[in-house]
Amino acid sequence: MDLELSDEQRMLVAQVRRFVRQEIDPLETDLDPDASELPAEEHERLVAITTGMGLYQMDVPEEFGGAGLDVMTRTLLAMEMAQHRAGLYTPCYGTFGSMGLAQLYDANDDQKERYLYPTLRGEKRGFFGLTEPSGGSDPARAIQTRAVRDGDDWVINGQKIFISGADRADFGLVFARTSPDKGRGGVTCFIVDTDMPGFHVRRIVHTLRSTHYATELQFEDLRVPSENILGQVDGGFGIANERLTRNRIPYAASCIGVAIRAQEMAIEYVKIRETFGDLLATRQTIQNMIIDNELDIRTARWLTLAAAHKADQGAPFRTEAAMAKIAATEAGGRVVDRAMQIHGGYGVTKEFPFERWFREMRIRRIGEGPNEVQRLIIARDLIGGAFH
């Protein structure tokens, strides 16, 4: 794998780095430490800048009006976009656009007109409804939400939990079991409008994030027309799995970006902070912490770029994406923890971003598939599915 960046990649990385340091960092000095959004006028101003850079909607394919970047370039930029206080929750506060729900790229023409294009234009919001109270680690087998055919409609009953943004969404992708005897092959993806009778936001689920929450959903005789099936009946697991696997690469990259920024701050601090007459930089214990940080960052970065490379080559990358997700989320947590420790009492104050990064990193070990499940994926691929 050649890690030498192209001239275009170098230019884009430099552009995004300047944007974060010159535009995002100054704004965060006046925002609440747990803020997840920018004031509307600032958001509009920054979107104009990213549009001028040619990077607005960078995750969206060119055929739908996006930048259409390859996975490697998108991964490199994800590392840069995350290097600010809110970078793990909302990189650059959404000023580079949103990939929306990538599954809709494969929707039929009618579904694209009703859901994909309005989402890309910012006119509609969607949610991804997979996880259930019965268990999220093996979602395809744990799904108990049922969809039963009734003429040209399907009637859905069941629950979802830990669903982000459903209370503010116009529609969502809901995965329900349509063939109980088919296991993973018996799940279908439905496009559900949130104003349909029988759709309920049952409660808000608060998390470690002070200003972020998830939702629990209830479906009671929710009637959905057959035209709202995304893909094929019983083909929902493939739709969900592809999304989760591919998204693990930029997900990992964001963790590495935060770790890089935390390491930079730690190095700057040890060069100016004195204890007992000497700089922290002269203390062997501190030096070892900085070294361990660098080892963690470089290892996770290599694994993540390797996954991006395989994805761009069109080769299977499930194992590589799982390795990247594990390495980046766990190494990133260690780096932030050490940087926080190096800063002492200041490290746990909201004057610095470490405490927010610490909370976000903890969540990342669960999101996009818990790390324990990623290890199971790797084991199955290495051993060849010789166990269950």
State both tokens at 204. 């808000």
Quote the pLDDT of residue 8: 94
Q: How many residues does the chain have?
A: 388
Which DSSP symbol is given to 357? Answer: H
DSSP 7-61: HHHHHHHHHHHHHIIIIIHHHHTTS-TT-----HHHHHHHHHHHHHTT-TTTTS-
pLDDT of residue 151: 95
Query: Using one digit for the tens of pLDDT, what is the confidence trace for 41-85?
Result: 999 999 999 999 999 988 888 888 888 899 999 999 999 999 999
Containing 68, the helix (H) or strand (E) segment is: none
Residue 136's pLDDT band (cuts 50, 70, 90)? low
How far is Cα 385 from Cα 10, in angstroms, rounded to an integer?
A: 41
Q: Where are the beta strands (DSSP E) in the chain?
A: 126-129, 146-150, 153-163, 171-177, 187-193, 199-206, 213-225, 229-230, 274-275, 278-279
330 catalytic residue (yes or no): no
pLDDT at 272: 96
Please provide residue 142's backbone torsions phi and psi, each rounded to the nearest 5 degrees.
-85, -10
DSSP 6: P
Retrieve residue 310's tokens. 């395989």
For position 354, what pLDDT does the model report?
98
Domains and CATH numbers, the chain: 7-104 (1.10.540), 126-230 (2.40.110.10), 238-383 (1.20.140.10)
Q: What is the pTM of this model?
A: 0.92
187 touches 131 (CB < 8 A): no
Strand 213-225 with 146-150, pairing: unpaired
State residue 282's pLDDT score. 96
The distance from CA 85 to its chain's CA centroid, rounded to whole angstroms, is: 16
Tens-place pLDDT, residues 33-48: 999 899 999 999 999 9
The pLDDT, as a whole number, for residue 212 is 67
Under 8 Å between Cβ of 254 and 87 = yes
Q: What is the pLDDT of residue 97?
A: 87
What local confidence, expressed as pLDDT, does residue 59 receive? 85
Structural tokens at position 306: 């390797």
Structure confidence at residue 215 (pLDDT): 93
Dihedral sign for Cα 370, 373, 377, 382, please: positive
* Active-site residue, from 220, 268, 368, 372: 368
pLDDT of 41: 96
Tokens at residue 260, please? 């890089």
What does the alpha-carbon distance between residue 324 and residue 331 come to, in Å, rounded to a whole number?
10
Is pLDDT of 243 > 80?
no
Q: What pLDDT was estimated at residue 138?
A: 64
Please, what is the average pLDDT of the chain?
Answer: 92
